[in-house]
Structure 1
Amino acid sequence: MRTRRLSTIVAAAFAVTALATGITVSYPASSSAADASGIQRQAWLYPGSPGESQCTAPAEYRDDRVKSGALKPEYWYINSDGTLHLETTAEGLCNAYSTANVADLKAHSASQYPTVSGMTASDVRALVSSSTKRSNAVSQLTTLITNNGLSGVDVDFEDYWSWSTTDFSNYKKFLQQLASSLHAQGKRLQVDAPAMTEDASFYDYAQVIATGVDELAIMAYDEQYDTPDGARCLPITPYDWLATVTNYAKSKVPDTSRLVMALPSYGYSAPDPCDLNSVNGNIQFSAMKQSPGFSSDPATVERRRDPSSGEIRWTSGGVLYDYVDSTAMDRKLAVLADLGITKVSVWSLGGGNPWFTS
């Protein structure tokens, strides 16, 4: 998901009631604070104009929440003609490329993986279908990463469900070229992937890893877009769905050191019952606090906490509001710890979005 363009981890089992099925599952029975605190943290951030809420991201990561992990700023996006645009602070953008930005990232993280973003199938297709544009992009990415002493590249090409088998084949060619180029310079490649629970023609985790990708970041959020017709919108990341996505990923990529499970820190609003065409997603916490009916009263927050996801959900004026707070993040992290995951990435920093409590 992109725009534009723990003091205590619960160690005792907590009951999860699936919204759609009524099935009750317990997560996690064996996780402890130590289990979850040993998971490497990563986080994405993205550019904005001065005054936009994402511009608070540096103030957030400067608390060294990912000092031993990774920061992943969006530095490039794909133009409609398949070329890459480098987003810079000279354009008046926060969180964009500059030597000062690079230095700040390095001061507050162990690894840095600037993101190249493609949010539509047509833009992705324009790049990966051309051998010349693939080569030019690989050169552009590798050169900046190498010259600035950064760790590698994060590839976030989305709109997967609109990809043809040819698109996926060309995408793998691009990844293979980029992985080879980066590895030759001692750099690494991370790739963002859709949350999946079964095999599909448009994407295959094992085939992507086979191109030479070092880490696959599974974006385990936005389950609300799978809500059945006429129902209340689902949570962003229900516990049982998170476990299913994770177990499927492990079946395709058995080496869990190469898996990064991505968790949400944001909210959304939608009509109740759900209208998928009217979901307002990626709402940062600073904006969510302005929503009708928002409450910071601890008792009210706990009454609104959804047992299937830990998320805070309420309705006002026929609109459902849902956001992920620190407790929900802690509990989702505990699910992953119980499943043997060692790395997580959070979308996203900025706007005062919640973070784990330890």
Structure 2
Amino acid sequence: MKKRIKTAVVTLTAFTLLFTSPMFTPIIPEEVKAETSMTQPLRLAGTSRYDTAIQVSQSGWNYADAVVLARGDDFPDALAGVVLAKSSLVNGPLLLTETAQLSEGVLEEIQRLGATKVYILGSPGAVSEKVENTLADQGLTVERLEGTNRYGTAGEIAKAAVPQAEKVFLASGSDFPDALSISSYAAAQGIPLLLTEKKSVPEVTLETLQALGVSEVTLVGGEGVILPEVKAQLEDLDYIVDRLSGADRYGTNLEILNSLSFNTEAVYIATGAKFPDALAGAALAAQNNHPIVLAPSKAFSEEGMSYLGSRRDEGASFTLLGGWGVISYGMESIIRTGNVNPKISLQYWDGYASYETYLRQLSLIPGKATDYVDYVSPNWRGSIGTDGSLKLVWDEGSSNYKQLTNMAHGLGMKVLPLINGSGATLNTLLKSPAAREKLIGEIVVLLKNTNADGVVIDFETPLDYGDAKDPYDGVRNDLTAFMESLHSELQSMNKLVVMAVMPRMSSSQYWLDAYDYKALSQAVDYLHVMTYDHHYRTSAPGPISPYPWIKQVLTYIQGQGVDMSKVLMGIPYYGRDWVVDGKDANGNPTYNFTAFGYSKALELADSYGATITYSKYNDADPVGTPTFKYTDEKGVEHTVFFDDYTSWNAKLSIINEFGLAGVGPWAMGWVDENTAEGLFPLLNQHLR
């Protein structure tokens, strides 16, 4: 018996599936690893376009003699000003402001840089005299570059930045994408960027061409944006004219990227749908002649994917300009992985761990961590008070939090601390708007102090309070209100919100009425449905997360109107060893248990010579759940259920069947080196 079990261990370690079925693909970890190439992007995003510009400035400049200041609610002046920002006249960042008053934080950023001069772009109708006076009152030298309109202002900017130029780029003054696409290159090369109308070149632009001594003009954009008449008009004036264009704004962007010589060690990504966050980023990209790629709202073209793939293969870094509302999580994953349908891997770092244990678990992720994991969730909550106070596991000033966050960030993963609660304490907290607000404030402080990227909320078994007709009405409304408020607050900080909810498979489970699954899914970035503990601590022995039951739960959730592309499916990394420990009042057996991971289950079966079989939940179960029984030295009979590569593989196949966002297993504390060797390649195969 022992020999046979040992053979099974060797077979599983070699990742050979213990079944043959057309619905499963054999696991070949090395091939999966070889095909994977990922880079974790940096994201520059603030709470507003003005704050984003400040973050861009802080990212790129420690000091600058001068800065450029443009209005943030329109694009022409700022994009023309990118060339000025890179010029020897400034060599500093491009900041944005509201028209009527200097936006919050801008003056402080100018002072941080040690700048003594500010170039304001546009007339007082673009940036008011009040803004100019505010700057002057601080002892700053202010120079305004303005024309009678956007075309004239672009001309004045060009003449200040590059007084003599043989060549200019000419883009539409009516829309931003083409000017944005060329802006970093134009600035890096010291080539003026001017603007034109669709049908003809404005007189003020022609005057600028003459003043600069230009002989060559490159039109940026297709004939639907700048008509052929413009080219003819310029050629009639003896200018050499060529054009960079594609079928649309994204095609023009790619034509620029492929036709011109950029430094592609770093690539900047901006949305092609809106301009604000990209304006200041163009000046940062221009510092070292880095390209700007325009990201569509939904999907890159084949050519766009190819360009990004080539940059990833070269080891380029990616910087995203703007928050999650501008460039979504899904789009970031596409940029990072090259997979047009990437899935999320949220790994609960550990339920309750020491600093050293967290480090050990982090070390189990093989090779490039982002081949297998996107987010890790440590549990740093010590306790939650009924007043919303949050106590952490280590002292508030402990360096452990930031050190662990930095280590995860260094591996390219995001960190989402777990905040959990249950029962009467949770109910008292939820009933109080003041307590809910306090807890949100505590979470904000936690994220700021630890540099974490968001939070996972796990509120379980809330008790009923409401009216007689709907006992859970009160707690349901308060729980949803809390999540909506939390998401609104953290979204403004560009932080992620995940909520873990208990699994439900029918309306008869009234004790789960506190969860309005649809409303909660709309108040979070991801909804983690904890599809485990079907057989739980004190239940009769049985599979913890049987395949058919998972599908029943997800079918119910789907029927509630939940967007399944936001759902993370739970799988257990743990097994349970049940024993009878007595009888209840009716004479039925009661149970207790011991929990352990996959490797321990195999060791236990081996040590007692037990035979591992696969128990099927019902006829719809394709492989079943590994199980065995043994009798210990005291004569006590044990029943064990756990999961292995075979059952995990079956469950992970459900992700694509339901179009889920990904997976959220519990928890890395049950994973050791032997388990990790096969588990992480399995995750890679299904998620990447």
TM-score band w.r.t. shorter chain: 0.7 to 0.9
Stretch moving more, 130-139 or 306-315: 306-315
Q: Could you tell me whether the CA contact under 8 Å between 1:9 and 1:334 is conserved in 2?
A: no
1:351 Cα deviation after fit: 3.9
Match of 1:133 among 435, 442, 465: 435
Name the residue aligned to 1:113: 416
CA shift digits 1:11-55 (9 cap, x unpaired) = 9747xxxxxxxxxxxxxx4878799x953321102333478x777
Q: Could you tell me whether the CA contact under 8 Å between 2:580 and 2:592 is conserved in 1?
A: no
Name the residue aligned to 1:57: 361
Structure 1 position 224 matched with structure 2 position 535: yes
Structure 1 position 204 matched with structure 2 position 516: yes
Name the residue aligned to 2:334: none
Matches within 5 A, 1:130-169: 130-160=432-462, 162-164=463-465, 165=472, 166-169=474-477
Q: Could you tell me whether the CA contact under 8 Å between 1:156 and 1:191 is conserved in 2?
A: yes
Name the residue aligned to 1:185: 493
Aligned alpha-carbon RMSD (Å) = 3.7
Q: Could you tell me whether the CA contact under 8 Å between 1:78 and 1:116 is conserved in 2?
A: no
1:121 Cα deviation after fit: 0.8
Q: Could you tell me whether the CA contact under 8 Å between 1:60 and 1:349 is conserved in 2?
A: no
Structure 1 290/106 Cα, relative in aligned 2: closer, same or farther at 3 Å? same
Structure 2 SS opposite 1:224: coil
Q: Distance in 2 between matches of 1:11 and 1:289?
A: 18
Stretch moving more, 266-275 or 100-109: 266-275
Q: Could you tell me whether the CA contact under 8 Å between 2:365 and 2:680 is conserved in 1?
A: no
Q: Distance in 2 between matches of 1:75 and 1:56?
A: 16
Structure 1 109/208 Cα, relative in aligned 2: closer, same or farther at 3 Å? same
Match of 2:577 among 262, 269, 272: 269
Q: Could you tell me whether the CA contact under 8 Å between 1:80 and 1:126 is conserved in 2?
A: no
Q: Distance in 1 between matches of 2:594 and 2:479?
A: 27
Match of 1:306 among 608, 612, 615: 615
Structure 1 30/326 Cα, relative in aligned 2: closer, same or farther at 3 Å? closer
Match of 1:280 among 593, 618, 622: 593
Q: Could you tell me whether the CA contact under 8 Å between 1:226 and 1:234 is conserved in 2?
A: no
Q: Could you tell me whether the CA contact under 8 Å between 1:220 and 1:237 is conserved in 2?
A: yes
Q: Distance in 1 between matches of 2:419 and 2:606?
A: 35
Name the residue aligned to 2:553: 245
Residue 315 of structure 1 aligns with an amino acid whose one-letter code is: K
Q: Distance in 1 between matches of 2:18 and 2:559?
A: 27
Residue 324 of structure 1 aligns with an amino acid whose one-letter code is: D
1:10 Cα deviation after fit: 9.5
Structure 2 SS opposite 1:78: strand
Structure 2 SS opposite 1:156: strand
Name the residue aligned to 2:654: 335
Name the residue aligned to 1:24: none
Q: Could you tell me whether the CA contact under 8 Å between 1:9 and 1:331 is conserved in 2?
A: no
Q: Return 5+ residue gaps in structure 2 as ranges.
A: 1-13, 33-338, 466-471, 618-622, 632-636, 683-688
Stretch moving more, 127-136 or 59-68: 59-68
Q: Distance in 2 between matches of 1:327 and 1:316?
A: 22
Structure 2 SS opposite 1:168: helix
Structure 1 SS opposite 2:576: strand
Q: How many residues align?
A: 324
Stretch moving more, 179-188 or 105-114: 105-114
Matches within 5 A, 1:316-327: 316-317=630-631, 318-327=637-646
1:239 Cα deviation after fit: 1.0
Structure 2 SS opposite 1:117: strand
Q: Could you tell me whether the CA contact under 8 Å between 2:574 and 2:670 is conserved in 1?
A: no
Structure 1 31/216 Cα, relative in aligned 2: closer, same or farther at 3 Å? farther
Q: Distance in 2 between matches of 1:284 and 1:296?
A: 17
Structure 1 147/227 Cα, relative in aligned 2: closer, same or farther at 3 Å? closer
Q: Distance in 1 between matches of 2:368 and 2:346?
A: 11
Structure 1 position 214 matched with structure 2 position 525: yes
1:60 Cα deviation after fit: 1.8
Q: Could you tell me whether the CA contact under 8 Å between 1:268 and 1:321 is conserved in 2?
A: yes
Q: Could you tell me whether the CA contact under 8 Å between 2:538 and 2:593 is conserved in 1?
A: no
Structure 1 269/251 Cα, relative in aligned 2: closer, same or farther at 3 Å? same
Percent sequence identity is 18
Name the residue aligned to 2:120: none
Structure 1 282/133 Cα, relative in aligned 2: closer, same or farther at 3 Å? farther
Name the residue aligned to 1:236: 544
Q: Distance in 1 between matches of 2:347 and 2:365?
A: 9
Residue 627 of structure 2 aligns with an amino acid whose one-letter code is: R
Match of 1:99 among 402, 409, 426: 402
Structure 1 position 315 matched with structure 2 position 613: no
Q: Could you tell me whether the CA contact under 8 Å between 1:8 and 1:357 is conserved in 2?
A: no
Stretch moving more, 38-47 or 192-201: 38-47
1:159 Cα deviation after fit: 2.2
Structure 1 257/340 Cα, relative in aligned 2: closer, same or farther at 3 Å? closer
1:91 Cα deviation after fit: 10
Q: Return 5+ residue gaps in structure 1 as ranges.
A: 1-5, 15-28
Q: Could you tell me whether the CA contact under 8 Å between 1:56 and 1:352 is conserved in 2?
A: no
Structure 1 position 84 matched with structure 2 position 387: no
CA shift digits 1:141-171 (9 cap, x unpaired) = 12332454432110011124x4442223222
Structure 1 SS opposite 2:641: strand
Structure 2 SS opposite 1:246: helix
Q: Could you tell me whether the CA contact under 8 Å between 1:31 and 1:337 is conserved in 2?
A: no
Q: Whose RCO is larger (CA < 8 A, sep 6+)?
A: 1
TM-score normalised by L of structure 1: 0.76
Match of 2:665 among 322, 346, 349: 346
Structure 1 SS opposite 2:364: helix
1:285 Cα deviation after fit: 4.2
Residue 124 of structure 1 aligns with an amino acid whose one-letter code is: L
1:79 Cα deviation after fit: 3.1
Q: Distance in 2 between matches of 1:267 and 1:220?
A: 14
Q: Distance in 1 between matches of 2:367 and 2:516?
A: 37
Q: Could you tell me whether the CA contact under 8 Å between 1:237 and 1:264 is conserved in 2?
A: yes
TM-score normalised by L of structure 2: 0.42
Residue 105 of structure 1 aligns with an amino acid whose one-letter code is: A
CA shift digits 1:231-286 (9 cap, x unpaired) = x6220111111111122222224422211111111011113699885342643346
Stretch moving more, 272-281 or 173-182: 272-281
Q: Distance in 2 between matches of 1:281 and 1:290?
A: 14
Residue 524 of structure 2 aligns with an amino acid whose one-letter code is: V
1:219 Cα deviation after fit: 0.3
